Each structure stands twice: as structure tokens, then as C-alpha cells.
């Protein structure tokens, strides 16, 4: 077996396309568009890869690719958190401990050259809220848009290479056909009056005031210890992300909570485009557009993928009020199912609010950590 750094165009294509081979018999796996992945890996679509040095590796058995990994240093996060940690992301591997161990060992050796003392991962490849962590519980329900999906044996591969679970995240499911909005509304209206906040939809025109409000909320929420794996984004990063997401997030699918002192909560949802991506096979051409146009109005699921509340307003009904507005918008469009994810299990206040609205935890994801010897 050979571990090779990705340097040539051929290596890049092999790195990009390995998941198509690994998951070719898995009916639940959903490929991203190949052109989008190219922009994440080697373009300008990843804030993570722009944050410091990084590289990519392939594991080969003869000429056959049997694994891959990306490794790097998030200099911004390390400075803010006072850490010397590197990250791993985009890990994929056959069911072979030796292959996984070789990939992890190579990643650790590279991190040593960068002066790192530990490794964390798999992190989001964009430093966003997409594909963070390993799926470690529930491999039967299909993955929703931008959530991790991997074989069950990945957890063993990490554990056998010395990684331990560092952060745990939960996904909550909601049956929108059975949910009683009226029952929740009474409690939410009481919380709004008691704590002095209201919820309003975000403008689709990306008003500067609202983007600044989101930045303020994220800076306050993400500095707590349970979020030490990410850093608050800059205004320019929020603007760039918002411009991209605006194409995929319908009006009403982004909500901001306001109190007298300013913004206190933010949530956003997205239709489950996995229902379409599954049919497109990673390609827009020649027939991907047909699937996109034919099925986009038939989507029946959505995912609340962002939910942040400032510490002073956590546990006061803000999260529940934000989610309710998102779910009301989904039901207007005929959605029958919603997922709220990923909520850090250490944030018990947020988890309680998700459950109070009728959410049932049904998937678990994990970030792993290892001290570099």
C-alpha cells in the first residue's frame, strides 16, 4: 500500500471521484455536484482551506484508490481558542484498519511539521455547518442535504487509530403532518411577552442591517465552550455565504429573533435537495437539469441547518419560536418531514427547546480528537 500526496491533475480527479466507487452499491448515499466539490477542494468555495496550510492524500493498493484524507491547520481558530490543533476532513476509506491507520499516520506526520499537538475531525470541509463529524447512530434513514453519511465501520476505524469522541451532535426529526402548531403557539407567545422578543423573516435582498445582526448573534453564540471547533465568521464571510445560499433558501426559510437590545437569535432552513441530487448522480449535464426542473417542486422534506441563540436568551423560547416559523413555511409548501440539525448535545437548553416543539432525536454525529504523539 502506498500513501501519496495529491499533486497532479490525475490525483485530484482520483481524490474527487473515490466516493463514487466506495458508495456505488449504497442506496442511501447522495453525491454532491462534482463541479461544486471542485470549487470546495481547489477553488474559493471553502473558508476552511483558505484559513491556513493544508494538503490531500490518497491511499493506493497498486493502482486502485482505497482511501483518501485532507489535513490542514485552521490558523484563525487556533489563534482565537489558544490551541495548536490541526484538522482532518473528507476522510473516506474501505473497511480496512491498516488503510485507515496509514492515512491517519500520514496526516499526523504532516501536522507535526506544522507544529501541531492534536488533531480533530472530520470537520466541515467549508468551515460551515455542512458534513461536520461522522454519522455514528442511525444508518437506516436517508441523509438530508449537507449532512454527513458514512458506513458504520468508520467509527471503528477512528477508535482503532486512537481517536476519541470529542463533541456529539444530534439531529431531531419532526412530523409536520402531525405537529400541532396551535399547541406550541400559546407557549411561544407567552415566552415572547415575558422575555420581550419577536421573530421576523429575513429579507431576501440581504439587507446589511440583517447580515450585521447575524454576525452579532454568531459572535455571541459561538464563543461558548461547546463551539470550540469553529470560529465566528467575519462580515465578508457571512455576505459571501448568504449570496450563495440565497439561491437555495426560499423566502421565509431564514428568520431572525429581535429583542429591545438587538438581535438574539437566527435560524435558517433549506429544502432537502438530496431528493433531487440523488437522481443527478453528481452531474448537471447532460440530464441533471431535467431532474432539477422536474423534481424541485416535489420536495417533501426540509432541514433546519442553522440555529443560534445568544447565551442570555437560551432556554427562553427563542429557539422554539424560530423553528416554529421555519416549520410553518415548510408546511405551506407541502412538506411532511423536517430535520433540525446539528445541535451540540452539550447545549442542553437548545436540545430541550427542540424537543419541546415535538422533535425526536433520531441521529447522532461525532467529532473525534487525538493527541499527536
State the pLDDT at residue 292: 62
Q: Do 173-364 and 2-168 fall under one CATH topology? A: yes
DSSP characters over 237-288: HHHHHHHHHTTTS-TTSEEEEEETTEEEEEEEEEE-THHHHHHHTT--TTTH
State the pLDDT at residue 290: 53
State the pLDDT at residue 182: 83
The fold of the 173-364 domain, in CATH, is: Aminopeptidase (3.40.630)
State the pLDDT at residue 36: 85
Q: What is the CATH number of domain 2-168?
A: 3.40.630.30
Could you identify the residue written with the cell 443560534? Answer: 308
The C-alpha atoms of residue 310 and residue 195 are separated, in whole angstroms, by 13
For the chain, residues with pLDDT lower than 50 are: 285-286, 288
State the pLDDT at residue 53: 95
- Chain-centroid distance of CA 229 in Å reads 12
pTM score above 0.85? yes
State the pLDDT at residue 184: 86
Nearest to 120 by CA among 16, 230, 221: 230
Consecutive H or E run containing 192: helix 181-195
Q: Domain segments of the chain: what residues?
A: 2-168, 173-364
State the pLDDT at residue 321: 96
Copy the grid coordinates of residue 368: 473525534
Amino acid at each position: 500500500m502506498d500513501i501519496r500526496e495529491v499533486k497532479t491533475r490525475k490525483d485530484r480527479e482520483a481524490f474527487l471521484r473515490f466516493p463514487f466507487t466506495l458508495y456505488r452499491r449504497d442506496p442511501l448515499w447522495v453525491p454532491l455536484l462534482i463541479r461544486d466539490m471542485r470549487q470546495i477542494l481547489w477553488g474559493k468555495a471553502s473558508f476552511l482551506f483558505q484559513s491556513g496550510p493544508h494538503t490531500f492524500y490518497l491511499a493506493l493498493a497498486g493502482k486502485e484508490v482505497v482511501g483518501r484524507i485532507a489535513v490542514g491547520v485552521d490558523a484563525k481558530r487556533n489563534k482565537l481558542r489558544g490551541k495548536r490543533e490541526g484538522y482532518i476532513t473528507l476522510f473516506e476509506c474501505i473497511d480496512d484498519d491498516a488503510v485507515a491507520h496509514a492515512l491517519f499516520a500520514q496526516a499526523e506526520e504532516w501536522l507535526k511539521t506544522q507544529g501541531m499537538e492534536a488533531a480533530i475531525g472530520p470537520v466541515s470541509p467549508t468551515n460551515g455547518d455542512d458534513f461536520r463529524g461522522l454519522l455514528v447512530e442511525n444508518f437506516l434513514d436517508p441523509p438530508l442535504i449537507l449532512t454527513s453519511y458514512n458506513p458504520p465501520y468508520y467509527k471503528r476505524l477512528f477508535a482503532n487509530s486512537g481517536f476519541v469522541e470529542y463533541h456529539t451532535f444530534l439531529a431531531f426529526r419532526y412530523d409536520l403532518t402531525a405537529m400541532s402548531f396551535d399547541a406550541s403557539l400559546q407557549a411561544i407567545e407567552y415566552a415572547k411577552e415575558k422575555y420581550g422578543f419577536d421573530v421576523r423573516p429575513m429579507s431576501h435582498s440581504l439587507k446589511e442591517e440583517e447580515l450585521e445582526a447575524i454576525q452579532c448573534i454568531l459572535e455571541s453564540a459561538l464563543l461558548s465552550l461547546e463551539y470550540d471547533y469553529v470560529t465566528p465568521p467575519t462580515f465578508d464571510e457571512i455576505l459571501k455565504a448568504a449570496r450563495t445560499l440565497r439561491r437555495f433558501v426560499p423566502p421565509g426559510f431564514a428568520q431572525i429573533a429581535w429583542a429591545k437590545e438587538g438581535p438574539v437569535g437566527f435560524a435558517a432552513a433549506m429544502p432537502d435537495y438530496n431528493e433531487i441530487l440523488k437522481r443527478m448522480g453528481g452531474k448537471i449535464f447532460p440530464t441533471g437539469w431535467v431532474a432539477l426542473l422536474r423534481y424541485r417542486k416535489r420536495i417533501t422534506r426540509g432541514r433546519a441547518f442553522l440555529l443560534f441563540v445568544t447565551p442570555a436568551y437560551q432556554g427562553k423560547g427563542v429557539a422554539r419560536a424560530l423553528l416554529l416559523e421555519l416549520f410553518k413555511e415548510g408546511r405551506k409548501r407541502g412538506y411532511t418531514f423536517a430535520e433540525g440539525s446539528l445541535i451540540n448535545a452539550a447545549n442542553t437548553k437548545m436540545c430541550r427547546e427542540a424537543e419541546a416543539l415535538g422533535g425526536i432525536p433520531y441521529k447522532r454525529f461525532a467529532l473525534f480528537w487525538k493527541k499527536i504523539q
